[in-house]
Structure formats: C-alpha cells, structure tokens
Chain A
Amino acid sequence: MTSTNLSEPLADEARTIEALLAGDEEAFRALIDLHGGPMLRVALLYASSRAVAEEIVQETWLAMLGALGAFERRSSLKTWLFTILVNRAKRRAEREGRSVPFSSVPVDVVDEAGTESNEFFDASHPRWAHCWTTVVRTWETIPGEGLLGDELQRRLAAAVRALPESQRLVFTLHDVEGLSGEEVCNALALSGSNQRVLLHRARLKVRSALRQYIDENDA
C-alpha cells in the first residue's frame, strides 16, 4: 500500500469531522449509513436482543457526538466508534448480569485444532507425516473480492455464529469490520499474541465450514 492510499481516507475523515462539527446533517447521515449496520452487528455479539443492540448503537453515537470536539484523532473515527461501542456493550451486559467475552482471566485461548483431523497424515506415517491427505484446491467459487453466492453467504454467517464467543468477537472486529490487530487489542484489552491465536482458530474453523460446503458442491 502506498502512502497516497493511506492518506486519502485520513483527509476524508478530517473533512467528515469538520463537517460534523459545523453541524452538517448530511455528513452525519452518511456516517450513520456507513457504520451503523456494522456497529449493530458487533453490538449483537454482546446484547440480549436486537432492541438492546440498537440502543447500544444509539448511545454510542450520542457519546461520540458529545466527545467529538475533544477527539484527538489518534485513531480513526471508525476505530473510535467501535471502541466506544465495545465498552458500552460490555458494561451493559455486565449490568444485566450476563457473561462478557474476555471478562474471565485467563482468556480462553484453548489450543484446539481448527483443521479437520483427517486433513493431515499423522506423525507415524513413514513418508507423509504432517502432510495433507487430500488435494487442496484454490476455490474458484470465491472471487478475489470475496463476494459469495446466497447459500455460501448463509454458510459463512452460520460458521461465524458457531464460533466460541471470544473467537467470534476477534474475527468480527478484525476480518469482518476490518479493524487492525492493534485496534482489536486495544478495544478488547487483549495481547497481540492472544489476539492472533483467537483470530487464527476462528479463521481455520470458518475456512473448514466453507470447505465442506464447496467440496460437496464443486465435486
């Protein structure tokens, strides 16, 4: 990525912030339409209902407006919004006496296999120990930009829903919403290595779910 690509969104963002501070409702509307849905998706990971999730999103925007004048721009607006959101969602879940991902110490970084057990020859194999047992093809069904057909989209959503809570949260913030590893660590108070372990486990499981479907249907 070149520095031009990096600085353009930053310039856009500076303009957005100025527009908001100047009371430009269109700018606010555009921002809600851009981030509102993704924020709701993250809020739903914590909330007991859709209504509660919508409330959390609403509170987050109000908190953002309240603090906008003092926003120091050390993170992107998007990261700031998601950080406020996660903190509010956590507090709300705690108030309601529900378990919150990462609230227990130590974090549930369990060392479990994410690939199916039959994908590799085991250590005792004379020639192919730890090698693939099957042909592993690049998927033609998924174009580079990652757009899926309806059924595959449903499988993907189901695979994400089936992840353990902490993996689902890290995967959603990092791979679905596009926050950087560092931003996810800050929002969730996680170490970099724990974050990557959780992300990796999640990715392997999601890949596995897609693989099952694609292998069934491409055969």
Chain B
Amino acid sequence: MSYDIITCEQLVELATEYFEGGLEVPERLRFERHLTICPPCRGFVGQFRATVAAAGAMPAEPLSPDTRDALLGAFRVWKVGR
C-alpha cells in the first residue's frame, strides 16, 4: 500500500466513503493524515458534517388532519377485526 498523501480534491471525493465506513484502513489513515496537516480540508469536513446534520434536522410537514383521522378510524376497525 502506497504511503503517499492524498490531495485536497481527493479528500473531498472520499468524504462520504470515509464517514460511512466504506474505506479500507490504509485509505482511512491517509484521509486522517491529510486532515491533520490541512486547515482548509478541516473546514470542508466541518461544512460537510454541518450539511448532513442540517439535513437530519429538516422539519417535515405533518399529515393532513383528514388522513390522520382516517388512519385512527382504520385502526379502530382493525382492532375489532383481529
């Protein structure tokens, strides 16, 4: 396994694989070694993680009251029928 360093552009390309556990150990180490010496890439990783966190915190519009009522009604029917 080569011991060379990866470029900033390569680090960006590997970010999802890195965070989703898709990288083999040598590649993961290269990724981390790059981060320790590269402030802009640390900035990028911060932005990347913030993006994922923001996505996970997106509010969802609730179901309409009609659908909700229909479901509760269906539950009552289901409950009796089983």
Check: A207 CB closer than 8 A to any chain B CB: yes
Within 8 A of B (CB), among A30-64: 32-33, 36-38, 40-41, 54, 57-58, 61-62
Q: Do A32 and B44 touch across chains, with their CB atoms under 8 A apart?
A: no
B15 nearest in chain A by CB position: A200
Whether B78 contacts A132 by the Cβ 8 Å rule is no
Q: How far is the CA of A36 from the CA of B72 in the complex (A)?
A: 12
CB <8 Å contact, A171 and B61: no
Choose among A38, A139, A145, A200 the residue that contacts B47 (Cβ–Cβ < 8 A): A139
- A-B pair count, CB < 8 Å, reads 147
Q: In whole angstroms, what is the CA distance A129 to B25 when docked?
A: 26
Find chain B residues with CB under 8 A from A171 CB: 55
B58 in the interface (beta carbon within 8 A): yes
Complex CA distance for A72 and B73, rounded to whole angstroms? 26
A29 CB within 8 Å of chain B: yes
CB pair B55 A139 closer than 8 Å: no
A54 touches B79 (CB 8 A): no
Chain A contributes a number of interface residues (CB within 8 A of B) equal to: 58
Q: Which residues on the A side are within 8 Å of B66 (C-beta)?
A: 54
0/1 string, A173-190, CB within 8 A of B gives 1: 001101001000000000
Q: Among the listed B43, B54, B58, B76, which residue makes an inter-chain contact with A138, where contact means beta carbons less than 8 Å apart? A: B43
Give the bracket for the number of chain B residues in contact with chain A: 35 or more
B54/A37 in contact, CB under 8 A: no
Q: A62-B74, A135-B40, A138-B43 are in contact. Are A130 and B55 (CB under 8 A)?
A: no
Contact with B along A112-150 (1 / 0, CB 8 A): 000100001000000001111011111100101111100
Ordered nearest first, which 6 A-B pairs have the shortest CB separation? A146-B53, A138-B46, A37-B60, A136-B43, A130-B7, A200-B16
Q: A28-B75, A40-B62, A65-B78 are in contact. List 14 more A-B contacts (CB 8 A).
A: A25-B72, A25-B79, A32-B72, A131-B7, A136-B41, A136-B47, A137-B43, A138-B42, A144-B53, A146-B55, A156-B54, A175-B55, A196-B20, A196-B22
B residues contacting A by CB (< 8 A) are 7-10, 12-13, 15-17, 20, 22, 40-44, 46-48, 50-64, 66-68, 70-72, 74-76, 78-79, 82
Task: Please list 15 pairs of residues, one from A and one from B, whose beta carbons are closer than 8 Å in the complex, sorted by A's number.
Answer: A25-B79, A37-B60, A40-B63, A41-B61, A130-B8, A131-B7, A132-B40, A136-B40, A139-B50, A146-B54, A152-B54, A160-B55, A176-B56, A200-B13, A200-B17
Binding site for B on A (CB under 8 A): 23, 25, 28-29, 32-33, 36-38, 40-41, 54, 57-58, 61-62, 65-66, 69, 115, 120, 129-132, 134-139, 142, 144-148, 152-153, 156-157, 160, 171, 175-176, 178, 181, 192-193, 196, 199-200, 203-204, 206-207, 210-211
